[in-house]
């Protein structure tokens, strides 16, 4: 893993509206209430900033390690990213979003612990999704799930 991976992922500036726009509107209303806007959006986040992260390098790094022992991949990540730094800890959060580590074998098939809403149970790794990886419970190797082929449009 690159030593500056956290900088590559978080290098983009934040997108969205500027912070001062709602303040300017409130100031204008205080000066002259007659000039205030007549309508406001129902969505309260319509002027908020949002993060724009470039997660493709992290995905490529993890996909490049498919077939390797997860302990070695995790130690390589830990060598370059420290959990003491808030930005680097955020990158670690994205790693845990891409890799399912809590897996078991039931009837010869691998299952992962799904935590969707109130449903706490095991789901087959084939339902993980396109960008997710899992750790084989028998061997400890990082693997990509075999996904069902997508239906083609006629």
The tokens for 88 are: 């680097």
First to last CA, the chain: 42
> Mind listing the pLDDT tens digit for each residue in 77-101?
888 888 888 878 888 888 888 998 8
Q: At what angle do helices 86-98 and 56-64 cross, to 10 degrees?
A: 60
- Domain spans of the chain, in order of start: 54-143
Prediction pTM value: 0.66
Q: Going residue by residue through the chain (154 aa), what tens digit of pLDDT does each one get?
A: 777 776 677 666 555 555 445 556 666 666 666 666 666 566 655 556 666 778 888 889 999 999 999 999 999 988 888 888 887 888 888 888 899 888 888 888 888 887 765 566 888 888 887 788 999 989 999 999 887 777 788 8
- C-alpha to C-alpha distance for 96 and 76, rounded to whole angstroms: 15
Q: What are phi and psi of 74, to 5 degrees?
A: -65, -40
Distance separating alpha carbons of residues 74 and 25, to the nearest angstrom = 48
Alpha carbons 140 and 127: distance in angstroms, whole number: 20
Instruction: Report whether 1 contacts 79 (CB < 8 A).
Output: yes
């Amino acid at each position: 893993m690159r030593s500056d991976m956290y900088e590559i992922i978080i290098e983009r500036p934040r997108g969205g509206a500027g912070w001062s726009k709602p303040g300017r509107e409130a100031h204008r209303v205080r000066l002259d209430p007659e000039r205030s806007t007549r309508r406001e959006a129902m969505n309260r986040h319509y002027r908020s900033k949002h993060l724009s992260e470039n997660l493709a390098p992290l995905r490529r790094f993890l996909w490049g390690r498919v077939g390797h022992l997860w302990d070695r991949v995790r130690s390589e990540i830990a060598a370059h990213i420290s959990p003491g730094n808030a930005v680097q800890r955020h990158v670690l959060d994205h790693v845990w979003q891409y890799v399912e580590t809590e897996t078991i074998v039931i009837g010869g098939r691998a299952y992962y612990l799904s935590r969707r809403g109130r449903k706490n149970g095991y789901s087959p790794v084939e339902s993980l999704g396109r960008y997710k990886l899992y750790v084989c419970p028998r061997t400890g190797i990082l693997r990509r799930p075999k996904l069902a082929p997508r239906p083609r449009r006629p």
